[in-house]
């Protein structure tokens, strides 16, 4: 009897397996197909229940097929809508609600570029420094130790600067220690505690600390040749209760807008929210004016070079310079990595590259070497003319013969009778990574294409940026004096920036062949699930009838 039952079990199992195997083979040999229906066909209109008004009046769907002018109008409208969806952003460009203009106030404000931004509801205005070398947007807030905010303290301002108070904004929210962007979370006593922050910048004793909040950053868009559209974007803001070092001496007294690659930076948040493409541009003009646009990918004709990872991750905007060129001579062994840092007033080269570059410049310049008291640069020259004499060009060469010609490589020293002299505006650093500061970006539209991890540039007067002619902008306060000359104490040290370990989110790569096969296998298993359940039922029934399992 047991032998007979065993043979019966084998029969059932074999039959069940053959059924499953045949189903698998049939599935593998089956070609799946779908019938395509045009979205504006009669059938589509009926299936989607278009009303007569939506299908060209009382004629209904029959006239829809005749491709009337309304047909083409709707078709074009939908194409444009799909194009915007493809771009993955709501707006082509965004800029601060007071305008895209930026400005340098010279020595009063550390030779950095600033722009006015509006935060909170009701909004409060802040004059923030633009820093591609750091990530966090912070402003003076509930101050314990902040820089003076009285306009009378600064010769460049005729209005007072503001202090942020989160309790005065109806849209502010505390950021808890459990938030994914709270780096100090592990050190908090409770997950519900408000997230603290503390940024120590490279410059000695320069820092900002306080608490993180979320509030609205007021922006504007004018990308459709219409009046500007107001946009409110929730961003993370550092409530800077305590500053030190340079931040008490005129550098970013009213806050700093970090534009780095970290997830907490404003460009990262705007792109992640789908408001703009993951890119932004800044332009610096010779007169100290400039522009900033979020979402700007630049021109098709611009030159570019790839960003380089640091310790295997893309933490900040680092590029690889292949050679420094003076005039027509490109110097050997002058390759180096450089941080593109708008938060550094001037440019710094690693020691060995610096020596080769300045010596070659000195060999080509037709002027007498001199020194000027109080100026940090070593290679300075006396001028006997009232105007700047011709100086050799300085060019940075990037891979694929992409050249970056420095528009104005020297710093002019003016006297009572005109130009007294000039200095090559480069300083050495003992770091392996140099810094290309804003002085060497002058005359360029610099595009930080985070989407493609590239730095791009094109010559610009800062007035020809995309749709900027249709954008109404609000200028910073009038009465900005000519920039006074910097002193040793007022220069930023190389790499004056903070780098967040957070890395901006990147689009996932295409799935590998292995992952595609895994997905296909899982689909087949799911497709065969009914047959496998049938097999289990047969075994269970056999067990109940024979009692041998």
More confident call, 493 vs 116: 116
The arithmetic mean of pLDDT across residues 379-401, rounded, is: 88
Instruction: Flag whether pLDDT at 60 surpasses 70.
Output: no
Could you confirm whether 296 is annotated as catalytic?
no
Task: Determine contact, residues 485/110, Cβ cutoff 8 Å.
Answer: no
Confidence band of 56 (pLDDT split at 50, 70, 90) = very low
The arithmetic mean of pLDDT across residues 407-427, rounded, is: 88
Collapse the DSSP code of 20 into the 3-class scheme (helix H, G, I; strand E, B; otherwise coil) and give the result: helix
Instruction: Flag whether pLDDT at 300 surpasses 80.
Output: yes
**pLDDT value of residue 40:** 55
Confidence band of 72 (pLDDT split at 50, 70, 90) = low
Task: Determine contact, residues 318/306, Cβ cutoff 8 Å.
Answer: no
Of 1-10, 304-313, 454-463, minimum mean pLDDT range:
1-10
Instruction: Flag whether pLDDT at 173 surpasses 70.
Output: yes
Instruction: Flag whether pLDDT at 403 surpasses 50.
Output: yes
Strand-pair partners of 200: 207
Instruction: Flag whether pLDDT at 303 surpasses 90.
Output: yes
Please state, for a pLDDT cut of 90, what percent of the chain lies above it: 53
Could you confirm whether 351 is annotated as catalytic?
no
Of 86-100, 131-145, 210-224, 287-301, minimum mean pLDDT range:
86-100
Instruction: Flag whether pLDDT at 476 surpasses 50.
Output: no
**pLDDT value of residue 509:** 29
pLDDT digit string, tens, across residues 10-23: 455 555 555 545 54
Closest CA to 100 of 135, 130, 140, 122: 130
Instruction: Flag whether pLDDT at 45 surpasses 70.
Output: no
The radius of gyration of the chain from alpha carbons, rounded to an integer in Å, stands at: 32
The arithmetic mean of pLDDT across residues 244-249, rounded, is: 91
**pLDDT value of residue 205:** 82
Collapse the DSSP code of 456 into the 3-class scheme (helix H, G, I; strand E, B; otherwise coil) and give the result: strand
The arithmetic mean of pLDDT across residues 443-451, rounded, is: 97
**pLDDT value of residue 540:** 56
More confident call, 356 vs 250: 356
More confident call, 224 vs 364: 364
Per-position DSSP letters for 77-88, written without gaps between them: HHHHHHHHHHHT
Please state, for a pLDDT cut of 70, what percent of the chain lies above it: 67
**pLDDT value of residue 535:** 52
Burial class (CB in 10 A: 0-12, 13-18, 19+), 415: exposed
pLDDT digit string, tens, across residues 85-103: 345 688 999 999 999 999 9
**Please, what is the average pLDDT of the chain?**
77
The arithmetic mean of pLDDT across residues 341-362, rounded, is: 95
Which residue reads 């633009």 in tokens?
130
Instruction: Flag whether pLDDT at 411 surpasses 60.
Output: yes
**pLDDT value of residue 388:** 76
Instruction: Flag whether pLDDT at 526 surpasses 90.
Output: no
Which stretch, 43-47, 125-129, 220-224, 344-348, has highest mean pLDDT? 125-129
Kindly tell me the sign of the dihedral angle through the C-alpha atoms of 258, 264, 269, 272.
Answer: positive
Task: Determine contact, residues 142/167, Cβ cutoff 8 Å.
Answer: no
The arithmetic mean of pLDDT across residues 425-442, rounded, is: 94
Q: Name the catalytic one among 131, 135, 215, 449.
A: 131
**pLDDT value of residue 25:** 45
Confidence band of 465 (pLDDT split at 50, 70, 90) = low
More confident call, 169 vs 83: 169
Q: Name the catalytic one among 108, 254, 341, 449.
A: 341
Of 90-104, 150-164, 468-482, 519-533, minimum mean pLDDT range:
468-482
């Amino acid at each position: 009897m047991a032998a007979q039952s065993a043979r019966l079990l084998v029969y059932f199992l074999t039959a069940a397996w053959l059924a499953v195997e045949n189903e698998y083979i049939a599935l593998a040999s089956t070609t799946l197909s779908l019938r395509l229906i045009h979205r504006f066909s009669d059938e589509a209109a009926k299936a989607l229940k278009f009303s007569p008004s939506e299908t060209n009046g009382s004629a209904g769907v029959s006239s829809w097929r005749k491709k009337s002018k309304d047909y083409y109008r709707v078709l074009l409208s939908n194409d444009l809508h799909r194009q915007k969806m493809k771009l993955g952003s709501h707006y082509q460009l965004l800029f601060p609600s007071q305008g895209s203009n930026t400005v340098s106030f010279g020595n009063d404000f550390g030779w950095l570029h600033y722009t006015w931004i509006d935060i909170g509801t009701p909004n409060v205005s802040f004059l923030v420094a633009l820093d591609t070398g750091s990530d966090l947007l912070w402003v003076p807030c509930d101050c314990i130790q902040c820089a003076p905010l009285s306009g009378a303290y600064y010769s460049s301002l005729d209005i007072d600067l503001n202090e942020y108070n989160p309790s005065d904004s109806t849209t502010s929210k505390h950021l808890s220690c459990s938030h994914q962007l709270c780096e100090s979370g592990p050190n908090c006593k409770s997950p519900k505690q408000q997230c603290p922050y503390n940024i120590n910048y490279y410059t000695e004793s320069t820092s900002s600390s306080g608490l993180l909040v979320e509030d609205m950053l007021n922006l504007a868009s004018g990308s459709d040749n219409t009046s500007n559209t107001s946009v409110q974007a929730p961003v993370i803001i550092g409530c800077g209760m305590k500053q030190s070092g340079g931040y008490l001496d005129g550098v970013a007294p009213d806050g700093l807008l970090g534009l780095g690659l970290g997830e907490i930076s404003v460009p990262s948040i705007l792109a992640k929210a789908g408001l703009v493409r993951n890119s932004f541009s800044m332009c610096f003009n010779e007169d100290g004016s400039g522009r900033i646009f979020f979402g700007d990918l630049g021109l098709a004709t611009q030159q570019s070079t790839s960003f380089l990872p640091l310790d295997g991750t893309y933490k900040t905007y680092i590029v690889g310079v292949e050679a420094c060129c003076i005039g027509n001579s490109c110097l050997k062994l002058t390759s180096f990595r450089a941080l593109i840092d708008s938060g550094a007033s001037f440019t710094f080269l690693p020691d060995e590259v610096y020596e080769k570059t300045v010596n070659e410049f000195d060999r080509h310049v037709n002027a007498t070497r001199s020194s000027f008291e109080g100026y940090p640069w070593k290679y300075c020259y006396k001028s006997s003319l009232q105007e700047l004499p011709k100086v050799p060009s300085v060019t940075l060469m990037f891979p694929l013969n992409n050249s970056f010609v420095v528009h104005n490589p020297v710093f002019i020293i003016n006297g009572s009778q005109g130009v007294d002299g000039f200095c090559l505006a480069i300083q050495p650093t003992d770091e392996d990574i140099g810094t290309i500061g804003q002085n060497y970006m002058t005359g360029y539209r610099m595009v930080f294409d985070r989407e493609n991890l590239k730095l791009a540039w094109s010559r610009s007067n800062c007035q020809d940026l995309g749709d900027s002619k249709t954008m109404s902008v609000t200028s910073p306060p009038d009465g900005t004096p000519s920039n006074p000359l910097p002193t040793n104490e007022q220069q930023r040290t190389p790499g004056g920036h903070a780098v967040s370990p957070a890395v901006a989110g990147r689009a996932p790569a295409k799935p590998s062949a292995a992952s595609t096969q895994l997905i296909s296998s899982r689909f087949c298993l799911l497709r065969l699930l009914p047959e496998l359940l049938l097999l289990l039922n047969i075994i269970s029934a056999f067990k109940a009838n024979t009692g041998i399992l």
